[in-house]
Structures are given as structure tokens and as C-alpha cells.
Homo-oligomer: A and B are copies of this chain.
């Protein structure tokens, strides 16, 4: 069953990390809002929109409040997008935030993608300070909406009724 907003969010399944030493778990980021940008290095919409937007999140919010994490969820052209190629890509595009390699599975769909039922790439997931999934976007989302959604998670109302709509 796919993960839905406001359900307890399971750990992502990552094979290896770039721009981060050691393992990095969602659980390690408790207390911070987490923006997870799932992408493929040869996906045009990820390169032109998703990743630059993730970089803007990194520049806009304080790192102590919002963690930005990339996830390389390869579901096509697997041979062309292996980790050694991703490393070159991240270098050329100047991406400095942690990027995990979504763990491959035998059916071609990487494990985190399958677990969270990504519809494709780019997919952007927002988790609140308690590690709950609160938004799941596929494709483009505009910056103003996204800025508001992240801020809503930083400053929830008492009633908890302010989750962004997905």
C-alpha cells in the first residue's frame, strides 16, 4: 500500500550517499522539516526545474530548520545513470546537498520510489519536524506555493489543520 500524507513515514532505502559521509536516515532529521527531491540525472524536467528549485529551498531556509535531500530514483536507462555518472553530474551542476541513490530492485523500480509510489520524476516530498509525510508533488510546483507549504510545516497552528494540500 502506498504511503499517504499524514501517515507515519517509513525510512527511505538508500544504497549510497553523495555529499554526505556515512548514512543519513529520515529519523536522523527529526526536528527539522525535510524536503526530499527525487530525480533522475537524465530527466529534463528534473534538470531544468526540480533540482534548481531544491537548490532555492536550500538557499531560502535555514539549514537548522529545513533539510534538503536529493534522491536519485532511477527507473529507466539504468546503465546510463549509475552512481559513478551521478557523481559527475552532481559535480557539473554544483549540487552540494546530500543525495542518496535509491536502492535498485530486481523489477527496475527502486525501493523508495516503489514504497512511496512516486509517479515519476521529479517528485518532491515534504516531511514535518516529526517525520510525517505532509506533501507529495509530482512534476512542477511553483516557488510561492512551495515556500508557503514549507513555512506552514515550520510554524504549524495549534489545531494542526494547516497541512498543505497535495
Residue positions of A touching B, CB distance < 8 A: 42-44, 47-48, 56-57, 60-61, 76-77, 79-81, 84-85, 87-89, 91-93, 142-152, 154-158, 162
Contact check, A43 vs B92: say whether CB atoms are below 8 A apart. yes
| Cβ–Cβ < 8 Å partners of A145 in chain B | 60, 147
* Bound form: Cα–Cα A88–B89 in Å: 15
Q: Which residue of B lies closest to A92 (CB)?
A: B42
Partner of A147 from B84, B147, B157, B158 at Cβ < 8 Å: B147
| Cβ–Cβ < 8 Å partners of A76 in chain B | 88
| Cβ–Cβ < 8 Å partners of A79 in chain B | 84-85, 88
| Minimum CB–CB distance for A35 against chain B, Å | 11
